[in-house]
A = this chain, B = another copy of it.
Amino acid sequence: MSKNIPYKIYLKEDELPKQWYNVRADMQKKPAPILNPKNGKPMTLDELSVVFCRELAAQELNETDPYIDIPGEIIDFYRMYRPAPLVRAYYLEKALGTPAKIYYKFEGNNTSGSHKLNSAIAQAYYAKKQGLKGVTTETGAGQWGTALSMACSYFDLDCKVYMVKCSYEQKPFRREVMRTYGANVTPSPSNTTEIGRKILSEYPDTNGSLGCAISEAVEAAVGHEGYRYVLGSVLSQVLLHQSVIGLEAMAACDKYEIKPDIIIGCAGGGSNLGGLISPFMGRKLKGEADYRFIAVEPASCTSLTRGTYAYDYCDTGMICPLQKMYTLGSSFMPSASHAGGLRYHGMSAVVSELYDQGLIEAVSVEQTSVFEAATRFARIEGTLPAPESSHAIKAAIDEALKCKETGEEKTILFGLTGTGYFDMYAYQQYNDGTMSDYIPTDEEIMKSIDKLPEIK
């Protein structure tokens, strides 16, 4: 059987998904509604449309339609870099000496370097369709900003990116890619917004955070006619767009009769994990199949494993809707020693609810062990992975080694969200032996959790 499975499975173009899958439709207990920060009541479509494009706002609130058509213009763009291959990690299996079969869904074969493009193009499309001039956003590791720049360039939209300051400094070349695609890039916190000036005056030496960059981007959108804010993770609309990852992976698995036992994804805001697992979760929810799902977090930023499940602000500036999620508190800032992405304080409402229902497991892994796994993977499987993706690699290797001990021939599927070509500063730290691990103390975490808003 396995002899007929190619090393890389590329679906044919006519096998590509034509609809996104909305896992909320199949959840009996839905995620809690998002609330208006001004009055604590569920956000209406009209209220949400002030921040987001109207059709994206509708997708955000849609809990009933399991399938949503992908517009033809978006499918056209997907064809540029999709299908993404489902790769059998033969070489890694051999090197580990494991009886497990390891597959990874590789989303890095595009210039943004990650899966982020799947949602960026959708959000740019709806913005263009609504006749907007442009969009604003934040970027942490830089993948989302790059993806959005590419998408905006395609639809000729203005693109303003607030880039978390430490990333801006560590990744000057990410900035250049965005500029090459015509985007405006500002390090955050900046003097260009009120919230940025406020944060700078309180914390002049801050490295920035995603929450803070989000606040600046929202302010820049709400304050300008013809602009809306777009976000690359956390939101349910983003998980919807990212379901293309899981749908393709599932189609490839079905085609070759591959039955994953364990599905692993790195988890920051939850966009990749949610997108990868959604269609499989749908089958699990309907009792058609069973899988173990594992979310992998950095030990320095652990919303699922050490956070609390409560309503919180999505942004440091407290202007976005409130969302019930596993969170470390919107004022949580990961240590400067944390090198990769996955630095968001909270987790997607969908992923949070599924985790709370016991349908997803979560583990946290330390940074140096992640880069060790990354380097090992690069040398064995060829591709130099993004630090974020390498969290999933680390967990997949750990599971494969458990199989080696027990002799079980499990099938492991993990999401390789992207490449690390713009993360060489972090690799350099690892190569030089100057990279450190950092686990926040309970006190540090409680300090930001204590600031959660009070919602009855």
Contacts and interface: CB of A to CB of B under 8 A. Distances in A.
Given A10-B10, A12-B6, A384 B427 contact: no
Nearest to A382: B80
A433 to B, nearest CB: 12
B176 A428 contact: yes
A421 B422 contact: yes
Interface residues of A, number: 41
Contacts of A79: 7-8
A379 B177 contact: no
Given A7-B13, A424-B176, A379 B111 contact: no
A110 B383 contact: yes
A180 B427 contact: yes
A291 interface: no
B7 A382 contact: no
A79 B7 CA distance: 7
Contact of A6 (B13, B110, B427, B428): B13
A111 B382 contact: yes
A257 B8 CA distance: 25
A211 to B, nearest CB: 28
Contacts of A10: 10
A150 interface: yes
Nearest to A374: B180
Interface string A368-412: 000000010011011110000000000000000000000000000
A181 interface: yes
B173 A425 contact: yes
Nearest to A87: B80
B379 A181 contact: yes
A182 interface: yes
A431 interface: yes
A80 B90 CA distance: 10
A180 B378 contact: yes
A67 interface: no
B180 A375 contact: yes
A110 B13 contact: no
B181 A111 contact: no
A213 to B, nearest CB: 21
Contact of A431 (B77, B176, B424): B176
A370 to B, nearest CB: 14
Nearest to A7: B79
Given A111-B382, A113-B421, 13 more contacts: A6-B13, A7-B80, A10-B10, A80-B91, A80-B381, A80-B382, A109-B109, A111-B383, A111-B419, A111-B421, A176-B427, A180-B424, A181-B379
Interface of A: 6-8, 10, 12-13, 77, 79-81, 91, 109-111, 113, 150, 153-154, 172-173, 176-177, 179-182, 375, 378-379, 381-384, 419, 421-422, 424-425, 427-428, 431
5 contacts: A109-B109, A111-B383, A176-B428, A176-B431, A182-B379
Interface pairs A-B: 4 shortest CB-CB: A173-B424, A176-B424, A80-B382, A421-B421
